[in-house]
Amino acid sequence: MDATLRDLLDTLGLIPTDKLQPLSGGDIAAVYALTTRQGQVVIKHDDSARLLGEAEGLRALKGAGTSLVIPEVLGETMGWLVIESLDTQPANTQSSVALGEGLRELHGVIGDAHGWHQDNACGRTPQPNSPLADGRAFQRERRLLPLTQACYQQGLLNGALCRRVEHQAEQLETWLPDSPASLIHGDLWSGNVLTTTRGPALIDPAVYRHYPDVDLAMLTLFGSPGAPFFDAYWNGDKPTDWPRREALFQLYPLLNHLLLFGSEYRSAVERCVAVLEAVES
């Protein structure tokens, strides 16, 4: 076992009784389960700054005081993060409803500006969070334009598609109302939602404050949490322009996937842009 990790475990009073056991799902960081005399914990190994951002995000989500289960951060140091292990079980309708209700509670925690007090990361991608008062400006200046340019510079977007994305970013004020800055998970794809014996849980956040649609659009990017979730979340107040919002707020994670994983995501970026263009026309 790595000496730095062993020292951290000693500091936390955790005595290992087995070797690190790799867990699936760690596309960016290495993730392990570790059995100790004090119980099982989850351990992540990654860039120190990214792990510090994740630890802070978990603390912020837990501090929001919602009904969602957030694993406790036990300790972190020099590229290692130790968190509480959660007992999982299969999802069902009841857990989907509880997820919708809990996420609505989370998004009801409102801040003064869109962004966060420090930058963090979404996957391996640095995520600039310098606050802006207007959510549309934040989405444009901190999310869409930086990633569009990064993908263009890497040859992952051609000039025409780059300009189409930039055009949509410049048009936000023409249709998207400004919104209070909700506390959001920030990377809420289905793999970061667990169903536990205590209720739905969120892991691996990239926390900041922005439109709640960020989390909803991410949940539908690679599937759907289902009608019971949305019924519980919207509680009869579904936005009339949800398809347009969904396409907009899927652009950022798709551009990030394009940057991280390559050209197979370019067609999905183009599909979102086409949806926005069709509504615009």
Catalytic residue IDs: 187
CA 272 centroid distance within chain: 19
**Two tokens, residue 147:** 């990633």
| Other C-beta atoms lying within 10 Å of the C-beta of residue 9 | 22
* Distance set, CA 27 to CA 44, 119, 212, 269 (Å): 12, 21, 25, 21
Length of the chain: 281
Its sign, for the CA torsion 202, 195, 72, 112, is: positive
CA–CA gap between residue 201 and residue 79 (Å, rounded): 24
User: Left, alpha or beta for 181 (phi > 0: left; psi -120 to 50: alpha)?
Assistant: beta
Q: Taking every pair of C-alpha atoms in the chain, what is the biggest distance, in angstroms? A: 63
**Two tokens, residue 219:** 């949940």
DSSP string computed for 171-231: TGGGT-----EEEE-S---GGGEEEETTEEEE-S---EEE-THHHHHHHTTTS---HHHHH
